[in-house]
Amino acid sequence: MKNILFLFVTFGLFLTFCLSLRTSSLDRAWKLFKNIHEKQYNSINEEQLRRNIWEANVRMIQKHNLEADLGLHTYTMKINHFGDLTHDEFLKQMNGLKINPEKKLNQKFHIRSNTKLPPSVDWRTKGYVTPVKNQGQCGACWAFSTTGTLEGQLAKKTQNLISLSEQQLVDCSSDYGNAGCNGGLMDNSYKYLEENNGIDTNASYPYEAIDGKCRFNIKTVATKVASYVDIQAQSEDDLQDAIANIGPIAVAVDASQNSFEFYSSGVYSESACSSTQLDFSLLAVGYGTTTDNQDYYILKNQWTTKWGMDGYMLFARNKNNQCGIATMASYALI
């Protein structure tokens, strides 16, 4: 009886020791998270709430990465600066693509070149892609995709890479169907720029991540927009052709899963996402194939270099229009 009691007490002490190690480790990790991402909270209660959310996200990511080690996923996840947000909070702040239910008026569609395409393309190596930007707490992803394709076309034409103004689109294109930090659409932005005589530089009209009064200045226009081109919906062949022959392409996806929020590395493939319910836009700057034969697109995000692979991700290609990657792609002509 004494031996049994001794075993129970010893096991209890062991569990207590393990739990204390876990708590101590989480304490250190939480402090590190706050320091790295410069997090500050208004009260003890708010910090405890945020820590609870962070711990739940940590557990979810650990489970995913263990499954990835077993070969169940083709990508990994990591805690980033969104780690103390609930998923609903994250979606409300960051995903700002607004689908227009009306039929598109644009009649220009990409015409495939019918030439043999290179096995891989990366427009970053050609100097057509500006550094990763910071969208902030503003649902203006659509503005960054618009400027991204324009920056590529301008660099291709002039051999001069210039960062263009997302804030101008946020502030000035509401008459064309956009809603600033509450969402918008690339096609609406192209239409505005066509009729507005162009877009300012980021240097002259910097990004503020808030809705503001339009301050467009024709004297600091970097380029005008002649028209824009949509890519045939759901055609990954057309999308690949456009990336190879045109340059960086604005794309939209369903980014509503928390796997996207905490993506870290590898080829992103998510069975739960939709090919039609799109809520986020990025910039496709290239494509390729991994050594184990996984086709991918190279996508540039605007959530700082803390997200993904220094602000980029590899996204599944030729996988049944994964998350709608080829559903609503487009580019501008200058």
CATH code of the domain containing 316: 3.90.70.10
How many domains does the chain fold into?
2
The answer as to whether 80 is a domain residue is no
pLDDT at position 81, please?
Answer: 94
In a shared domain, residues 58 and 157: no
Domain boundary among 74, 101, 122: 74
β-strand partners of 296: 288, 316
Burial class (CB in 10 A: 0-12, 13-18, 19+), 210: middle
In a shared domain, residues 268 and 134: yes
In a shared domain, residues 199 and 250: yes
Lookup result for tokens 């590395």: 265
DSSP-derived pairing of the beta strands 249-253 and 280-289? antiparallel
Smallest Cα–Cα separation from 328: which of 284, 292, 267, 276? 276
The answer as to whether 81 is a domain residue is no
In a shared domain, residues 152 and 214: yes
In a shared domain, residues 252 and 315: yes
pLDDT at 12 over 90: no
pLDDT tier at 8, thresholds 50, 70, 90? very low
Q: Is the pTM of this model over 0.85?
A: yes
The answer as to whether 79 is a domain residue is no
Contact 69, 150 (CB under 8 A): no
In a shared domain, residues 178 and 299: yes
In a shared domain, residues 13 and 158: no
Rounded to 5 degrees, what are φ and ψ at 73? -135, 155
pLDDT at position 41, please?
Answer: 94
In a shared domain, residues 70 and 92: no
Smallest Cα–Cα separation from 317: which of 148, 117, 143, 98? 117
In a shared domain, residues 157 and 16: no
Smallest Cα–Cα separation from 135: which of 188, 93, 192, 174? 93
In a shared domain, residues 203 and 267: yes
| Percent residues over pLDDT 90 in the chain | 84
pLDDT, tens digit, for every residue of 115-124? 899 999 999 9
Q: What is the mean pLDDT of residues 98-109?
A: 64
pLDDT at 16 over 50: no
pLDDT, tens digit, for every residue of 50-76? 999 999 999 999 999 999 999 999 999
Residues counted in the chain: 334
Tokens in use for 76? 């990994």
Q: Which of the 8 DSSP states describes residue 319?
A: S
Q: Which of the 8 DSSP states describes residue 131?
A: P
Residue ranges making up the domain that contains 4: 1-74
Contact 141, 280 (CB under 8 A): yes
The answer as to whether 317 is a domain residue is yes
Helix (H) or strand (E) holding 109: none
Q: What is the mean pLDDT of residues 199-217?
A: 97
